[in-house]
Structure 1
């Protein structure tokens, strides 16, 4: 359960992978959220569980950026929490559930009433719960000034014996222990490396033509949202430094929920640098089809299949799904050595072009070699695929989930 299971955000994608692994071993998953694209026959949608519900947004505007709250804010939080707690009782009874898996709703306070509701529900019932934490509130500046510190300590996350906590990187694991005295199991994000992606079909091969990229152009794919922490200005600088008119930079996702100022800065920088920058978010989606203008919509997998090089110069990431995707689709990539990469991924021996916050001539030279030397490139991407298979595969997730479920059931049934 969580606030949203829809689209291509990290929580929605990882929760689907967990459900797939559980399904492979005859465990049926049911979904509780405020917004959902999952099968409605096994889902319960409660609008107030969604963080963008007007009532939840009303609370968030008054909960953060200030140190005190008015009595009506407190009352509304607890009134909605009681209502949501009732829906949790209904959800668990309707589907005769044995185990609750909470996806990010007990660590980042996008929906405070839901976190309070979950905490009270688990405390009252002793319901066996795995809390999968993708982002903690102390990792985000926007939650640093708060009028709900008491509730953050109570519910994000709660220190309850019925909960097994799961973190996605070692820094989060250490922070949770230091800040809350709570232990957790480290479960990295994964991809199905045991089953390689299929060869690109005729539909995927139309991607370049549809976005105006020639067959002999060199497609640099930035497979992220357009937000400042993605460091996309470094990708522009890289393409500019290559001084090759065939190089085109393509961004697959939209600006997201942080405004369009950064996107305008990127457009201006690209124009000044002579870089051909394409934003194709209206032609990349969850599934193939047609957009409002009648143009073909491609999946992110289609975009990866047609890319020559992946840029991933993020300043901060909770884990780094795009990095795993580059490994999975056997594409070379540039990585800015963000802290989680340095701690949890780099030690595994992955072969990438890395930078430390700024672009150097050496980095540019390495990228040029990858573009021109096919044998070198193929050796690199094949090696990275094996790194993914060993450390970030469904097999790894299966072993971790087996231990978590067995802790509750006493039986190895995964």
Structure 2
């Protein structure tokens, strides 16, 4: 999510491919974005996700200018995009999906998080989430935790200049802390060492 001087409202970039999402998910998101005055952008429709052209704009460019990221998945095989956001030093707000709770958070990640009840209405969730952007309050029945997160996001938006790094303080210390954790646990050198260790053990096993 980001703000640019030439765009009068906040922009919400959805990095997931729209062909993987049913209309029951996309339609309420589009309606809520329109009602809230949010510029909704789908990466798969407007950005060059994989392009060799030097002039193309890709998701990484959007990470670099975003103010913060939302990661509200109910289910993920792991969560590569979560690590990408943290590697780009983005403040990140997450839903505590199973893999995050089990494998990522215990490593020291302290992201502002939700625990979305399975019975929550998706329309209400989208509407409440976009009401963060402040055009008007949208009606819904989400738990208090989402309202608390909305307050945190509003405070972050008020603090951070559009398209600029976070000023010195607690929020910047937090993104630096998470970047260090990503490097310590999920960087290519770490993966290489672990894979070589596994291969070495396998090679030493008797046939």
1:326 matches 2:85: yes
**Change beyond 3 A, Cα 1:354–1:378:** same
Larger relative contact order, structure 1 or 2 (CA cutoff 8 Å, min sep 6): 2
CA distance in 1, matches of 2:172, 2:155: 12
8 Å contact 1:334–1:352 — kept in the other structure? yes
Q: Give runs of aligned pairs for residues 205-354 of structure 1, distance below 5 A.
A: 214-215=4-5, 246-281=9-44, 282-289=46-53, 297-354=56-113
Q: Structure 1: where are the runs of 5+ without partners? A: 1-207, 218-244, 291-295
Q: Residues 252 and 284 of structure 1 are in contact (CA less than 8 Å); yes or no, is this contact kept in structure 2?
A: no
The answer to whether the aligner puts 1:398 opposite 2:192 as a matched pair is yes
Distance 1:366 1:279 in 2: 25
The unaligned stretches of length 5 or more in structure 2 are 117-141, 160-166
When residues 310 and 304 of structure 1 are mapped into structure 2, their CA distance, relative to the original with a 3 A threshold, is: same
User: Where does residue 369 of structure 1 map in the other structure?
Assistant: 155
The CA distance in 2 between the partners of 1:408 and 1:393, in whole Å, is 23
Confirm or deny that 1:409 pairs with 2:203: yes
After superposition, residues 164-179 of structure 1 pair within 5 angstroms as: none
SS at 1:298 equivalent: coil
Q: Which protein shows a greater Rg?
A: 1
1:246 CA drift (Å): 3.6
RMSD of aligned alpha carbons:
2.6
Q: 1:385 aligns with which of 160, 163, 179?
A: 179
Q: Which residue of 1 aligns with 2:124?
A: none
Looking at structure 2, the residues matched to 326 and 257 of structure 1 have their Cα atoms a distance apart, in angstroms, of 21
Scaled by the length of structure 2, the TM-score of the pair is 0.70
> Are the counterparts in 2 of residues 251 and 279 from structure 1 also a CA contact under 8 Å?
yes
Tell me the matched-pair count. 168
Alpha carbons 1:307, 1:331 under 8 Å: kept: yes
Shift of 1:365: 1.6
Residues 216 and 351 of structure 1: CA distance in aligned 2, closer, same or farther (over 3 Å)? farther
Counterpart CA distance in 2 for 1:363 and 1:259 is 26
Higher strand share: 1
* Paired residues of 1:288 and 1:298 also in contact (CA < 8 A): no
Which secondary structure state, in structure 1, belongs to the residue aligned with residue 57 of structure 2?
strand
